[in-house]
Amino acid sequence: MTGSAVAWPIADPVALLERSIGYALGSLQLVTPRDMTAPTPCREWDLRALLAHMNDALATLQEAVDDRAVTLVPDPNTIDESTDPVAALRDRACHLLGSWTGSGDAAPIRIGEVPVLADIVPAAGALEVAVHGWDVSAACGQPRPIPAALADELLTCAALFVTEADRPARFARPLEVARDAGPGERLLTFLGRHPGDG
């Protein structure tokens, strides 16, 4: 092989996932029963639907660390409708974090039929978890800034993972952002969110 290998830019993706989960858990503390029907920054989803989506995302991350593979077939039984969705999500997040921090397995993870670097999966999960954590806080009318150091690393992830093919289906078009905006605002506007929503 000629030339130098391109280094993965996230030094510790599992630590990044841990910080994202910590931030999202803080947002979950804001949720009250009356918020469940509140609109979210995610088009066509109320807060209950967003929490269900987050639960599905964490279930996928759990499948990745447990099986070293993601089937891409949604599990219709990932959440019991009779349970408190916030408590269920909190429990799943804590279990997931324990699984990733205790894994240490560097073997590739198959996404469908495609093997990817093991580090990619928790990094992608960190981006999803943190941004939806912000969505939760915005839906509750109390948008919580994503910590600057966390947002800065997630911006690197977003630049790698979010392409034009993802817009406008998975993410809205990027929004204008002030030149002096911090990394949290730049991350949210890159993903089509208004940092002042809430």
DSSP secondary structure letter of residue 143: P
In a domain? residue 64: yes
Q: Is the pLDDT of residue 6 over 80?
A: no
The CATH number assigned to the domain holding 38 equals: 1.20.120.450
In a domain? residue 154: no
Identify the weakest region by mean pLDDT among 1-10, 28-37, 81-90. Answer: 1-10
d(CA 4, CA 46): 47
Report the percent of the chain where pLDDT is more than 90. 71
Report the percent of the chain where pLDDT is more than 70. 89
Query: Sorting pLDDT into bands at 50, 70 and 90, what band is 2?
Result: very low
Number of domains present in the structure of the chain: 1
Query: Sorting pLDDT into bands at 50, 70 and 90, what band is 7?
Result: low
Total-model pTM: 0.90
In a domain? residue 163: no
- Predicted confidence (pLDDT) per residue in 51-92, tens digit: 999 999 999 999 999 999 998 766 655 556 668 999 999 999
Burial 88-104 (b: 16+ CB within 10 A, else e): bbbebbeebbeebeebe
In a domain? residue 20: yes
Phi/psi region, residue 141 (left: phi>0; alpha: psi -120 to 50; beta: rest), is left
Neighbours of 108 (CB within 10 A): 16
In a domain? residue 67: yes
In a domain? residue 120: yes
Query: Sorting pLDDT into bands at 50, 70 and 90, what band is 151?
Result: very high
In a domain? residue 159: no
Asked if 126 contacts 69 with a C-beta cutoff of 8 angstroms, the reply is no
Range of 87's domain? 13-146
Question: 70: helix, coil or strand?
Answer: strand
Question: 180: helix, coil or strand?
Answer: coil
Report pLDDT for 170: 76
In a domain? residue 8: no
Query: Sorting pLDDT into bands at 50, 70 and 90, what band is 43?
Result: confident
Query: Sorting pLDDT into bands at 50, 70 and 90, what band is 4?
Result: very low
